[in-house]
Amino acid sequence: MIKLFYDNTGYRLRGSKKALNLIQKVIRKENRISGDLNFIVTNKNRLREVNIEFLKQDYFTDVIAFGYSDGKVIKGEIYMSLETIKENSVNYKVSLMNEMVRVMIHGTLHLCGYEDKRKSERLIMREKENYWLDLFEKEK
The string of pLDDT tens digits covering residues 31-71 is: 999 999 999 999 999 999 999 999 999 999 999 999 998 89
**Pair 41, 74: CB distance under 8 Å:** no
Residues of the chain with pLDDT under 50: none
In three-state secondary structure terms, 36 is strand
Burial of 38 (0-12, 13-18, 19+ CB in 10 A): middle
What domains can you pick out in the chain, each with its CATH number? 2-138 (3.40.390.30)
Q: How many CA atoms lie within 13 A of 30 on its CB side?
A: 25
Q: What is residue 84's predicted lDDT score, i.e. its pLDDT?
A: 97
16 neighbors 38 (Cβ within 8 angstroms):
no
User: Is the pTM for the entire model greater than 0.75?
Assistant: yes
